[in-house]
């Protein structure tokens, strides 16, 4: 098994707890599904949120979705002029037999513009 990084991002229309929770859970589940991963394959998950998202920690949504024993941490994304607003990014560290080139990175809800080169 190799350790791989799986990237993902999603955008919120509003800084609201219910929307944050739904968007983060959707992104996490999609990342797991598209890479044939289970919770047992997760080593750790890093979440970043743009400074305009203050309604809740993205990791709290992951905990509510059942990621109980996976180490999670949140950070604030760098505030760059012109950056995509209301965006949550995820970097999952996983154990997988997939080659790095076969890892599927996931961008949803308008975040696809961040990495059009990775869209499959």
- The whole-chain average pLDDT of the chain stands at 91
Instruction: Count other C-beta atoms under 10 Å from residue 74's C-beta.
Output: 16
Element containing residue 68 per DSSP (H, E):
none
Catalytic residue among 77, 98, 100, 120: 77
Confidence band, pLDDT 50/70/90 cuts, at residue 83: confident
From the list 89, 98, 100, 112, the catalytic residue is 89
Tell me, yes or no, if the pTM score tops 0.85. Answer: yes
Per-residue pLDDT, 65: 82
Compute the distance between CA of residue 32 and CA of residue 65 in angstroms, rounded to an integer.
Answer: 13
The mean pLDDT of 55-80, rounded to a whole number, is 93
Cα 26 from chain centroid? 9
Q: Which of 4, 11, 86, 107 is catalytic?
A: 107
> What token pair was written down for 52?
């305009």
87 — pLDDT class (breaks 50, 70, 90): very high
Domains annotated for the chain, with CATH where assigned, are 2-118 (3.30.1330.40)
């Amino acid at each position: 098994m190799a350790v791989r990084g799986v990237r993902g991002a999603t955008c919120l229309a509003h800084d609201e707890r219910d929307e944050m929770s739904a968007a983060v859970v959707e992104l996490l589940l999609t990342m797991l599904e598209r890479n044939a991963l289970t919770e047992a394959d997760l080593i750790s998950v890093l979440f970043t949120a743009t400074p305009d998202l203050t309604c809740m920690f993205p990791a709290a949504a992951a905990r509510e979705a059942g990621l109980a024993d996976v180490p999670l941490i949140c950070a604030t994304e760098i505030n760059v002029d012109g950056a995509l607003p209301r965006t949550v990014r995820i970097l999952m560290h996983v154990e997988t037999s997939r080659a790095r080139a076969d890892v599927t990175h996931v961008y949803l809800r308008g975040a696809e513009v961040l990495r059009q080169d990775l869209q499959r």
